[in-house]
């Protein structure tokens, strides 16, 4: 089972909403950390998953964005929506700056019988083991952010759902610094060996949060693919614009990067899956249209979701 982790910005929510049927039919459970105080887009996204009888985890103590100092508002939002959506579960982020009493309060006040604990830097593992054992009426899923949770830590949580999330996207200070291709992840084939029963990632966005992407000196299209000649491991193409010296002309730079993607797509036995997202990239190439950088990010996430769905068919 696959748990993609989304920050609840505009295009992240749109990609979940537009793929609600695929996500639900594939058994995926998206994790959404709400980061915007305007919740209309979040409501539409949750409704889309609910209408497909899917499941979703909503983090009720975000550490990024508009709610990071206002957990009360998002907790009330969760309770309002959970009442008629049994597939909606609360997620509690266990970071290095939260205390045990706050964790207990979030679990208790959510009034949910299924809770996801997202291990992301909290060091007192025995506190959490005790919390779980003292709440036998709650079904806990332990979601481990890999960079904070080694095997020794994870071994303390042998019961219930165990999910390992790996950030496969290497953040660099500029798009021009990305190599043409690099390793992304092999968790989709190795998660069983990690002694977990599900896996996840931060898609092609990465774990590092920022409100905006900044000026695009270089435009890059990040495309995941599976290498059948290398044990079905997943890799990442970075198709970059030729120009990278000024932030001017993002539309032209997008078309430069897009031409490289289409050229790779049209190779005989191309390793890039022909997803709906790739069909849309072809249409943009034919029309020489630039949809904007936010929409571009949505298309890259769309392709990754479709690729993951093809792997579990």
Query: Could you give the CA distance from residue 170 to residue 184 in angstroms, rounded to a whole number?
Result: 8
Tell me if 229 is assigned to some domain: yes
d(CA 114, CA 304): 28
Q: Are residues 66 and 161 in the same domain?
A: yes
> Quick one: pLDDT at residue 83?
86
Residue 229: predicted pLDDT: 94
Q: Do 144 and 292 share a structural domain?
A: no
pLDDT digits (tens, 9 = 90+) for 39-82: 999 999 999 999 999 999 999 999 999 998 889 999 999 999 99
- Domain assignment present for residue 67? The answer is yes
CATH of the domain at 70: 3.20.20.70
| Same domain? 148 vs 176 | no
Q: Which residues of the chain have pLDDT under 50?
A: none
Domain edge (last residue) among 166, 196, 216: 166
Clarify whether residues 52 and 3 are in a common domain.
yes
Decide if 34 is inside a domain.
yes
Residues 162 and 32 in one domain: yes
Residue 153 shares a structural domain with residue 219? no
DSSP H helices, the chain, are 10-18, 20-25, 40-51, 71-82, 100-110, 125-133, 151-154, 187-190, 250-265, 276-287, 293-311
Q: What is the pLDDT of residue 313?
A: 67
Helix (H, G, I), strand (E, B) or coil at 288: coil
Backbone CA torsion sign across 210, 211, 212, 214: negative
Q: What is the pTM of this model?
A: 0.96
Instruction: Write down the residue that tokens 């003292």 correspond to.
Output: 134
Do residues 141 and 178 both lie within one domain? no
Residues 108 and 243 both lie in one domain: no
Residues 157 and 239 both lie in one domain = no
* Chain centre distance of CA 312: 17
Domain count, the chain: 2
Report if residue 188 sits inside a domain. no
Q: SS3 for 24? A: helix
Mean pLDDT in the chain? Answer: 95
Query: pLDDT, tens digit, for every residue of 155-185?
Result: 999 888 999 999 999 999 999 999 999 999 9
- Cβ pair 30, 4 in contact under 8 A: yes
Q: What pLDDT does residue 209 have?
A: 81
Q: Which of 112, 140, 166 is the last residue of a domain?
A: 166
Please check whether residue 110 lies inside any domain of the structure: yes
- Is residue 194 included in any domain, yes or no? no
Residues 178, 139 share a domain: no
**pLDDT for position 160:** 86
Q: Which of 166, 193, 215 is where one domain is finished?
A: 166
Range of the domain at 259: 171-183+207-313
**pLDDT value at residue 312:** 84
- Please state whether beta strands 181-185 and 31-33 pair in parallel, antiparallel, or not at all (unpaired): unpaired
Give a yes or no: residue 201 inside a domain.
Answer: no
Q: Are residues 35 and 177 both part of a single domain?
A: no
pLDDT of residue 52: 98
Residue 199 included in any domain: no
Q: What is the pLDDT of residue 249?
A: 96
Q: Give the pLDDT confidence score for residue 213 in this predicted structure.
A: 65
Task: Say yes or no: 19 and 156 in one domain.
Answer: yes
């Amino acid at each position: 089972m696959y748990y993609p982790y989304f920050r609840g910005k505009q295009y992240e929510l749109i990609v979940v909403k537009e793929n609600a049927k695929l996500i639900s039919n594939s058994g995926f459970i998206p994790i959404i950390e709400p980061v915007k105080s305007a919740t209309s887009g979040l409501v539409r996204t949750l409704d889309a998953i609910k209408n497909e009888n899917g499941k979703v985890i909503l983090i009720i103590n975000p550490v990024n964005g508009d709610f990071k100092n206002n957990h009360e508002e998002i907790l009330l939002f969760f309770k309002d929506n959970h009442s008629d959506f049994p597939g909606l579960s609360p997620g509690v982020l266990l970071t290095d700056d939260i205390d045990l009493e706050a964790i207990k309060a979030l679990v208790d006040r959510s009034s949910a019988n299924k809770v996801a604990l997202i291990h992301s830097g909290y060091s007192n593992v025995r506190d959490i083991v005790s919390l779980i054992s003292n709440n036998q009426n709650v079904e806990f899923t332990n979601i481990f952010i890999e960079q904070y949770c080694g095997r020794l830590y994870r071994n303390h949580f042998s019961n219930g759902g165990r999910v390992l999330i790996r950030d496969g996207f290497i953040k660099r200070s500029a798009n021009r610094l990305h190599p043409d291709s690099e390793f992304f992840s092999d968790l989709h084939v190795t998660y069983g060996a990690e002694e977990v029963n599900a896996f996840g990632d931060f898609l092609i966005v990465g774990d590092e949060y920022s409100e905006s992407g900044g000026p695009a000196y270089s435009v890059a299209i990040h495309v995941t693919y599976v290498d059948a000649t290398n044990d079905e491991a997943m890799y990442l193409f970075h198709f970059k614009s030729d120009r990278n010296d000024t932030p001017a002309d993002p539309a032209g730079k997008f078309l430069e990067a897009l031409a490289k993607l289409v050229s790779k797509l049209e190779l005989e036995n191309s390793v890039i899956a022909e997803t709906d997202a790739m069909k849309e990239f072809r249409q943009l190439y034919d029309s020489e249209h630039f949809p904007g950088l936010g929409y571009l990010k949505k298309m890259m996430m769309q392709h990754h979701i479709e690729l993951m769905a093809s792997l579990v068919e």
